Amino acid sequence: MTDTKDKRKVGVARALSKLGFCSRSQGSVLAREGRVRVNGTVRRDPEFPTHLESDVIAVDGKRLERLAHIYLMMNKPRGVVTTTSDEKGRETVYAYVDEGLPWVSPVGRLDKASEGLLLLTNDSEWGARIASPESHLEKTYHVQIAAKVNDELLRSMKDGVATSVGLMRVKRAWILREGEKNTWLEIVLDEGKNRQIRRILQSRGLEVLRLVRAAIGPLPLGNLPKGKMRPLSEAEKSALDLAIGMHGGNAQSRVSG
């Protein structure tokens, strides 16, 4: 059964993304460089209306077909950035993606100093739903701070803390374990604002030593080694779909390691 969403036209850059060929921004670059043809005609406008089902789209003379969707999870190391390329020459997550895989994009971001669970996919619609604040998908973090923690701090994090960019709060927070000079917290968010945990703790004068994303919704990081990635199982993908209110789908999907 054809997805009704594919019956409407989309910009050619977005079409390249929906086909799993590249990101939308990369598609815009390809179009402007004159490397994209629609029904045999070069289209330099990234917003040129394109029909995914009936139009013939080619890049560098090669006709594109809809690729099977790929869903991967990665244990991102600290010091790695989640961008396609980096103007400062820093290592990106693509250094850990197998060369034989089709294009995949990180779902949301973990900043350079953060580590842990990161999803990657060529299913742009699914990735957008996972990352969207409107999905209220919980994300769980384990955070080490250079201080002892009291109940007042935990309560204030849930009630809301004034930061340099406004009021921020967490959904839940509790102590995992304590040392003589530091504490590990488990913190759950369902908003996903930029550097949210770091901003909250820094506003209270607390230094973040480590920040590890331990789970996205029902999907735990588990024992995946640092710097490694693996495909999601069908059960894991289905659990995430249920968590964001997506049920089934027409696009063929596959897992690839």
Per-position pLDDT tens, the chain of length 257: 344 444 578 899 988 887 878 878 888 999 999 999 999 999 999 999 998 878 899 999 989 887 788 999 999 999 999 887 777 878 999 899 887 788 888 998 899 999 999 999 988 889 989 998 888 899 999 999 999 988 899 999 999 888 888 888 999 999 999 988 899 999 999 887 778 999 999 988 899 999 999 999 999 999 999 999 999 999 999 999 999 987 554 333 444 43
**Catalytic one among 3, 45, 98, 111?**
111
- Split into its structural domains, the chain has a count of 3
Q: Are residues 206 and 191 in the same domain?
A: yes
pTM: 0.79
Containing structural domain, residue 146? 138-216
Q: Are residues 223 and 107 in the same domain?
A: yes
The answer to whether residue 130 sits within a structural domain is yes
Is 151 an active-site residue? no
Domain of 29, CATH number, reads 3.10.290.10
Q: Are residues 211 and 154 in the same domain?
A: yes
The answer to whether residue 46 sits within a structural domain is yes
The answer to whether residue 256 sits within a structural domain is no
Which 3-state string (H, E, C) describes the chain? CCCHHHHCCEEHHHHHHHCCCCCHHHHHHHHHCCCEEECCEECCCCCCEECCCCCCEEECCEECCCCCEEEEEEEECCCCECCCCCCCCCCEHHHHCCCCCCCCEECCCCCCCCEEEEEEECCHHHHHHHHCHHHCCCEEEEEEECCCCCHHHHHHHHHCEEECCEEECCCEEEEEEECCCCEEEEEEECCCCCCHHHHHHHHCCCCEEEEEEEEECCEECCCCCCCCEEECCHHHHHHHHHHCCCCCCCCCEECCC
